Amino acid sequence: MDRRNMLKQFVRKAQRSLNIEQMVPRIQYGILLGLALSTAILLVSRLFVLPYYRNVTVIAGVGTIVVVVIYIWLKRVRKKEALHRLDDFYPHNELVTALSLHEDDNPLVQSILQKAQKETPQVYNQFKKRQKELWKPKALIGILLIGIVIGILSVFPSATQTEALVVEKEQEVIKDIKKEVAQLEKKTKSKEVKKELQELQTKLKDIDLSEEALREVVKKQKELKLQEQKLKEKKELANKDGAEGSDGLTAEEQEQLKELMEMQSDLASAANSTQSALSKLGKPISFDLQNAIASELASESADASAEGEASSSENQNSSNQQGNSQNSNGQGNNGKGSGNGSNGSGQGQGSGSQGNGQGSGSGIGSGKSGGSGAGKGQGSRDLLAVPERIGGSSETTADGGKLGEGTAAGEQQGSVPVTKGTIRPYEEVIGEYKDSYLESSERMQLPKDLQDIVQSYFSSIESNK
């Protein structure tokens, strides 16, 4: 190694030492500044509700330290500065002189390089022994004290900080709702259902309150339920008209009906889980929204039960019809017997009466029908069983006052007398049920849009009578 490169190596060592000497104190002050800023944010969060204050505190502290590190890097000691700082320990500035001359063939330059090389080890030892201030006692004490304060503020949160945590979790609930609706929108294939879910996503983007988001989900679920009901009624009307080989719906409508059932069921489950999450957070929703969610869940259970019973009934009717077709005709020697079972009718789970008949002819033989009268069950759709009052006057008095909030004073359980009731045509009672339901919905103070959905539902029923 020549003399010039050896001198440059000592300059690099001095540069590294100077950078460390400059960096350590600045890092201490950077940490102190970051902790001070974090403490200020914690104090503000104790006075005002500041959601995600913990994240803001950490980001502010770490961000301050990162900024200080960047500042240290930009202000690092350069090689020229290190050269002059090390040259200050030479008696006659031999280091700067030797490295500034590039005429190595000149005897004077070689003499200066030789002298600088000879003095450099001793000079560098003096450079290392210079007075240094790596640790700043005031900064270290400040870091310790502020760290203790931050620990105390974190262990004992104020009421506003606790409320901010609830708001954070509430925001997470809203994010979960938006995420679930987005997943449902991606899963659906029907254009109509996809359009409805996209509309719901658009509304949820501008909502910051969990109850408002939940209300929009319930509203959209009711709209999907109404569309599903219309398609089912169209299907039942086609079946009643006796159209064989077709259920009255196109392939697209069948797919839409299937997805409507799935989507509104998923929305009902999402609404119920959201309500439970908000209850755990101590954020109960309004009474009318609770009733709406409960009624939809009950409707879902009833629909699932009805579909199961309908499927079982269809399988049983199919078996009975096959058996009847095998035993419906009897034949004598010269005569032919015939018999018909009367159609079954009844209330609720009606059963058909057994048919019998006797054939006669010119011959001796006679035949008997083997019909078992396959009743449809479930009774007619055109009749309803209306319960009768037991004792007291038939006059009723309705309390038209507004519902208040609170809990029930008491609840009693036990058996109550039940009577058979009377059978009345469906057309006679639908108006009474409509008026009663609309009156109760007004007392529950349902939102205007939900009242419109209820009104539209009864209007669609009356138009199909």
User: Distance (Å, rounded) from C-alpha 124 to C-alpha 118?
Assistant: 11
Query: How confident is the model at residue 234, as a pLDDT?
Result: 78
Query: How confident is the model at residue 153, as a pLDDT?
Result: 92
Task: Enumerate the domain spans of the chain.
Answer: 3-157, 162-239+252-310, 421-465
Structure pTM? Answer: 0.54
User: Residue ranges of the chain with pLDDT lower than 50?
Assistant: 1, 244-245, 306, 308-381
Query: How confident is the model at residue 425, as a pLDDT?
Result: 67
Three-state secondary structure string covering the chain: CCHHHHHHHHHHHHHHHHHHHHHHHHHHHHHHHHHHHHHHHHHHHCCCCCCCHHHHHHHHHHHHHHHHHHHHHHCCCCHHHHHHHHHCCCCCCHHHHHHHCCCCCCHHHHHHHHHHHHHHHHHHHHHHCCCCCCCCHHHHHHHHHHHHHHHHHHHCCCHHHHHHHHHHHHHHHHHHHHHHHHHHHHHCCCHHHHHHHHHHHHHHHCCCCHHHHHHHHHHHHHHHHHHHHHHHHHHHHHHHCCCCCCCCCCHHHHHHHHHHHHHHHHHHHHHHHHHHHHHHCCCCCCHHHHHHHHHHHHHHHHHHHHHHHHHHHHHHHHHHHHHHHHHCEEECCCCEEECCCCCCECCCCCECCCCCCECCCCCCCCCECCCCCCCCCCCCCCEEEECCCCCCCCCCCCCCCCCCCCCCCCCCCCCCCCCCCEEEEHHHHHHHHHHHHHHHHHHCCCCHHHHHHHHHHHHHHHHCC
Residues 6+ apart with CB under 8 A from 201: 178, 181, 182, 185
Query: How confident is the model at residue 325, as a pLDDT?
Result: 41
Query: How confident is the model at residue 339, as a pLDDT?
Result: 41
At 214-265, the pLDDT tens digits run 888 888 878 888 888 888 887 777 777 655 445 667 777 777 788 788 887 7
At 422-431, the pLDDT tens digits run 666 666 666 6
Query: How confident is the model at residue 305, as a pLDDT?
Result: 52
